[in-house]
Structure 1
């Protein structure tokens, strides 16, 4: 072939390719910019097609399994035909509420096939062929069958390790995307100041700095900053805003929070996560100052979009648009509720049909179509950026290699180990010797697989979940371990206390595993929102999880009776709390020889706890939330504003265990605090930490700050920096923290973020109430302010 002929053929091929591209609608041309494609597609859409993109119906009814294949259900076909839905929520979800089980639900390969089938039908059976988004719950792992279950949010935050949490985010993203889904619901950035509230377990605790750092790390791992990345997901931050501080601890109740408190504490974690790349925010069920958060224009538009320049989309919490009309009673019709939500800044209607009312609202002149266009623009933009128009499908054959693989299971154990908090270790009873002849393992959480996992967890194969009993047996042998349940979490008809006492008498040491449960079952009734209903007709062991708010924090059922009886044996008593909220530990703090807590530590939690008990892992978890002495103290969070609390008649005002607290099998010495001022508002804080004990171990150094005199009342101390690090026994390390304008700033009387001149107290320590080093710095000049409003 001559060179000239080769050139002619290549030119012909290029011309054919160019012609093919030019014959495509502009939005289908991958060579064009996202802006051009969005603009073209939006111009072609009818009002009905636009509103369809704003809907996210329940997904688990949209498929049918036949043999080893998955097909779109008739309900899905009807949904596409009649409503043009552009998104589904919880398609792969399995739990008692959805009635999807190990038998009839989607295992990973089938999940990938389901996603492909739904995607194919939507693309091929709609006029414009727009792919659908699949959004999935993923607060501590993808809530689907066969996926990796990590510790719940409050457990992950006990690690105080952004590095670990970023790794968790990467694992979750890989599992979600490999199954064909795109949006991950989580992290939960609500600040928990009331342990009575049912969803403390989902959060990162009570502090804005810790929550913000960990939230940003999770978002980074989930890959939201670059949607073109192979396994990037759209992280959805929950719940906007002040959802975790409802009156009376009642889920969804009014939140009594001032504007300054919002800006100082509740908003910063969300902003940090958004700056890390989060592209979706979910509204909350509550109202603030009389305005439902799903209809709050200031929060969703003025602040989020105009001031923070958030470019992602806002999704309502499940049926919360209906709640504007049916729960908050600030809209007399569903149409008015839909208009309020869209006008406030909500882009997507999760679960319901409220936004279908926008069709009539536009036609009657009550709603401007330009607001609908803006919402659709944001959604389409994410679909183009993720490459769904060119690559809408996944390979089911590779899915099983991605989901719950060995690396993810290993990571789950590492995170669980890092999350265990040692609260008491009298006479250094721990770690236990593996030469011990006999151990009694008792308690309702000693061998309950689902009570290791927390809420928002799918059904599990027994072989995949490790309980404390499993972990202890792995360290010893079945012949040296005697197990008796003793009692249930709530059900008082279960009474094996006498048998537990007998087992204790035959043993050298007792490991009693008590606490709570967020394990859903088929006996429990559920609201339309998926929240469980706590009533006498649905007596399960659940005492935590969405909808299970508490009036007390004491152990339920006969658990305290069990502990009392075990104490009378005189045998060493190690108490382990597995819980979703900080339960009452006053008795255990006084009577147990050792006390540990693990906040639903996930599928590898039992092995992780045993690792700690027998010294294969030196505990370094730290409390992300204060443990009260009594519900009468609530709220009892550490960074309250001045003045300092005075004691009650009956008890101290301080918490039983403070924020940041946690013991180790070794000891650490802090020394040599040095301050170097680099500029008026830039200080380097250095100090040394030495492992002075007999074990290698990790420490979590914490820097707290107090503005001594400010124009508005300030916290008595506020965490600003922290670092978790490993030291071999005898090893010393220098730690360096940098204080900047951000750390020194406050919200002044004009609601501006400013740095004021004056003195600041620097406190370095092992927890909020264990300060080892203290000094002062002075700010003598400032460089300006930022108006938050």
Structure 2
């Protein structure tokens, strides 16, 4: 093995470059030596001299108190995720003590707030109004983990584009998305907001969302500022418990956690959000290394940094600050420009300036960054441009938007199992369907968590409604709720009375028994049983960690009773995380994972279940056999005693890296996802058996759709470096293409592999490549691939 010193790669030491959209998504597309100007910065940079003069003049007129006010983010009356500290925000706006507000949407309400800021303050500086537009505003798309399962960047970008159009018409100009935390522990509730376990896929998804939210130019009225969050390491919270500490090596940090964030900087993301967690002993909100040395000095980020909800206050219980005043000093000097809700900047920054612990010059810099974004949004030109009630009526929940949500939803569904071609259900063969489960007719749960301003009462289409719409009078539906999410115990009832936790008392023993009997009765008079089971939407999201991954309540018990009837069984899973589906995998004929599919979820599910649309989703996250395997992910490293289950000579070896009571392998691997049709892969062809450090290698494979349906296939490319200066993963995703095949169609799919695709952080933390032997894999899932080998050589 020989380390190659390649100048263009060494110039990128400790960085990841800009992402470039292409029909074939490759790792090398994310590596640019020179940072290119993003489209979303073009307009404001043309007027930069004018902007600088205006903002400089404005800052010169501001008192220190008014400057500090621009650094304050207050919450309105909508959804909150922490203590509601301030209920007098309107008066604070009048006093010039609020620079931005969130949890306040509605074109008319936003106009009222903006009018106070513009017409009732000394300088008339407009507000930035934000909200959590995570996977839609009022037309809700699939949960973010579901969008990642599409492996379709155009679909993900469309989702963010629609969300931006609706939100910007409803008084909002800033979203706290995308969440780019890499997730490997499904116990963590915020898995539902992420794009999975792989840095390549997560990076591609994050950039697509930024481009969708921000469009070509933030000055356009239908765009909103995106936020790269949470910076950084939040997804590695120990034990899957939210807000917990993270402990990660430098190699792991830069290899898996940093890439999405650096790529979003290069894509022109407007803002960053700090994370709650302690990262290697220093809370991220108080880390100058993260917020200044890396984000600004090394990466060149030009927007502003906002904290998460009361994250500055939380430096005190972290044990990193003596008191609130000390916390404000630490966070501001570290590089946190705006304080979300905590009011510590308002309370202490003036005093800290007087004491010489914070410089007014640094405050001016932070204020300038915030005012620049207000300029770029066009707020100084027209502060009411996001408060157009007529545009809101035209845009929100339009037919076009709902059709887009339907299409993205059906692309997100992952067919995990389909024995004996149980699916699709054809209405010329099926006369009656038992539709059973707590999620089969629940509007409230269809749109999942973090559904922003999404309506949970009228607009979401349930599975039952979607099925009736699709199958009409040709099929009789026998519906029963059948099961409950929670099996209430006396102790839980006692806890509820004592105010411990917030359990939802949904059923007692007698009502559970009655519902189960109704389910069995419905199934007995039906040709096929479709069970819609999973997690209530509140079981995913922030502060929703679980110690078990099984389907909660008595859902499995109901499935076991239905199994006794001997009828075909289909399980539709709705949840925001990988669940323990071992029993279902062994006993159910077909399993379709639908995540939380959004406003049009019921229609989209009917499209797929009926065969009108062929499922094409792939898992963005490994599904474990049990919680005991967690964390489990495909791109692990070998140990000194690796265990290979497919090697008959090793099956009985005891002193290997293995479990005594379970296979090492997951239930469903990263990238897994079946189709109604069959895709046959030929052997890999390489343009050469050698790749020079200044060359490129073409990797090709012939694929034939030999089944009976047209459909899309996600063709995945992985590599493996045999020997390195540090140990290397057994596989790494380096590219993918989502390709449509007509029935019987064959295509040659090619990828171009370059040395940049093989670069990594080496033992000395420099970024580059090393010559030696490599494997390249192409296939339908991380565990179902063809293999070829080549040498990276210095020529």
Partner of 1:517: 536
Contact 1:681–1:744 under 8 Å retained in 2: no
Partner of 1:667: 678
Partner of 1:621: 617
Contact 2:712–2:738 under 8 Å retained in 1: yes
Distance 1:43 1:779 in 2: 58
Offset of residue 640 of structure 1: 1.1
Distance 1:598 1:88 in 2: 34
Offset of residue 734 of structure 1: 2.3
Distance 1:153 1:756 in 2: 36
Contact 1:224–1:279 under 8 Å retained in 2: no
Contact 2:443–2:456 under 8 Å retained in 1: no
Instruction: Give the counterpart of 2:118 among 123, 126, 129.
Output: 123
Are residue 79 (structure 1) and residue 92 (structure 2) matched? Answer: yes
Offset of residue 737 of structure 1: 1.9
> Residues 250-284 of structure 1, C-alpha deviation per residue, up to 9 Å, x if partnerless?
10100121111010001101112222221111111
Distance 2:282 2:215 in 1: 30
Instruction: Give the counterpart of 2:147 among 137, 143, 156.
Output: 156
Are residue 282 (structure 1) and residue 295 (structure 2) matched? Answer: no
SS of 1:186 mapped into structure 2: coil
Instruction: Give the counterpart of 1:221 among 209, 212, 235.
Output: 212
Partner of 1:543: 539
Offset of residue 36 of structure 1: 1.6
Structure 1 runs not aligned, ≥5 long? 1-26, 63-72, 93-110, 519-541, 783-789
Identify if the C-alpha distance between structure 1 residues 31 and 205 changes in structure 2 by more than 3 Å, giving closer, same or farther.
Answer: closer
Instruction: Give the counterpart of 2:257 among 250, 258, 266.
Output: 266
Instruction: Give the counterpart of 1:200 among 185, 191, 196.
Output: 191
Contact 2:693–2:794 under 8 Å retained in 1: no
Instruction: Give the counterpart of 1:500 among 511, 519, 523.
Output: 519
Instruction: Give the counterpart of 1:407 among 382, 392, 400.
Output: 400
Partner of 1:388: 379
SS of 2:570 mapped into structure 1: strand
Partner of 2:793: 780
Offset of residue 492 of structure 1: 4.6
Q: 1:90-239 counterparts in 2 under 5 A?
A: 90-92=103-105, 111-142=106-137, 147-223=138-214, 226-239=217-230
Are residue 37 (structure 1) and residue 32 (structure 2) matched? Answer: no
Q: 1:613-692 counterparts in 2 under 5 A?
A: 613-643=609-639, 644=642, 646-671=657-682, 673-676=684-687, 680-692=694-706
Are residue 575 (structure 1) and residue 592 (structure 2) matched? Answer: no
Instruction: Give the counterpart of 2:244 among 249, 253, 261.
Output: 253
> Residues 435-467 of structure 1, C-alpha deviation per residue, up to 9 Å, x if partnerless?
211110001111111211111124526441111
Offset of residue 74 of structure 1: 9.4
> Residues 542-600 of structure 1, C-alpha deviation per residue, up to 9 Å, x if partnerless?
32221121111111111111100010111111111100111110000010011111111
Partner of 2:70: 53
Partner of 1:715: 729
Are residue 759 (structure 1) and residue 773 (structure 2) matched? Answer: yes
Identify if the C-alpha distance between structure 1 residues 31 and 636 changes in structure 2 by more than 3 Å, giving closer, same or farther.
Answer: closer
Distance 1:386 1:35 in 2: 15
Offset of residue 671 of structure 1: 2.3
Contact 1:763–1:774 under 8 Å retained in 2: yes
Partner of 2:38: none
Partner of 1:98: none
Contact 2:96–2:121 under 8 Å retained in 1: no
Are residue 448 (structure 1) and residue 445 (structure 2) matched? Answer: no
Contact 2:309–2:342 under 8 Å retained in 1: yes
Offset of residue 517 of structure 1: 1.4
Distance 2:78 2:658 in 1: 55
- Runs (4+) of structure 1 exceeding 6 A deviation are none
Offset of residue 735 of structure 1: 1.9
Offset of residue 683 of structure 1: 2.5
Offset of residue 379 of structure 1: 0.5
Offset of residue 391 of structure 1: 1.4
Distance 1:193 1:338 in 2: 32
TM-score with structure 1 setting the length: 0.86
Offset of residue 180 of structure 1: 2.5
Identify if the C-alpha distance between structure 1 residues 433 and 731 changes in structure 2 by more than 3 Å, giving closer, same or farther.
Answer: same
Offset of residue 777 of structure 1: 2.5
Contact 1:89–1:350 under 8 Å retained in 2: no
Greater Cα shift, 394-403 or 306-315:
394-403
Distance 2:779 2:240 in 1: 31
> Residues 400-453 of structure 1, C-alpha deviation per residue, up to 9 Å, x if partnerless?
111121111001000110001001111111111112111100011111112111
Greater Cα shift, 735-744 or 149-158:
735-744
Contact 1:670–1:690 under 8 Å retained in 2: yes
> Residues 457-511 of structure 1, C-alpha deviation per residue, up to 9 Å, x if partnerless?
2452644111111122122236700100002211452410011001111111000
Distance 1:339 1:684 in 2: 54
Alignment size in residue pairs: 698
Partner of 2:343: 353
Distance 1:697 1:277 in 2: 35
Offset of residue 32 of structure 1: 5.7
Contact 2:700–2:751 under 8 Å retained in 1: yes
Distance 1:124 1:229 in 2: 24
Contact 1:681–1:739 under 8 Å retained in 2: no
Are residue 422 (structure 1) and residue 415 (structure 2) matched? Answer: yes
Offset of residue 739 of structure 1: 2.3
